Structure 1
Amino acid sequence: MSPIDAPIDWEQPATMIDLDGKAPLIGTIRQCAQHFAIFKAEAKMQARVLLTKPVHREGRRTRTWLLEPVEIEALAQRLRDEG
């Protein structure tokens, strides 16, 4: 289960970045999750998603603008589950 408290809207604008400095993907959460799903394990570990609306995380008092690989993987799994 994702450490994010509430589901993120698939149509929310977002930007997927990686720590290697490749060109970012600017699109929606859905597009970011779709691209993440096809990445190799090494690329997944470098991926981050920058949100346009911050989300709450379990155990944190403040909201966050950045999703980590485990959270992006949870979104990719949600996308697969939803068909």
Structure 2
Amino acid sequence: MTNIAWDQPATLIDLDGKAPLISNIRECARHFAALKPQHQQEARVLLTQPVFREGRKTRTWILEPQEIAALVTQLSDA
């Protein structure tokens, strides 16, 4: 996954139907980190700009839980 700007608008959604968090990537990652593990597995981030993925022909608009967790790691390392 390419670098995503921390201030890019994004929406953290829950497959269970809970209210989304509409903010930026940084806040979505922080909120994701506070979720319980079972809720993390149901979370996705909807981007405002699609990102390139290795091995895919097209860019995508949604980040999966493992990709969000990688952002949390980047955030904690910074």
SS at match of 2:18: coil
Partner of 1:67: 63
TM-score of the aligned structures, taking structure 2 as reference length: 0.98
TM-score (norm 1): 0.93
For 1:10 and 1:54, how far apart are their aligned partners in 2?
A: 14
Say whether 1:80 aligns with 2:76: yes
Q: What is the total number of aligned residue pairs between the two structures?
A: 78
Per the alignment, residue 31 of structure 2 pairs with 35
Partner of 2:15: 19
Output the CA distance in 1 between the equivalents of 2:65 and 2:50: 16
Q: Which residue in 2 is equivalent to 1:53?
A: 49
Moved over 2 A (4+): none
Deviation at 1:37, TM superposition (A): 0.7
Letter in 2 for 1:63: R
5+ residue gaps, structure 2:
none
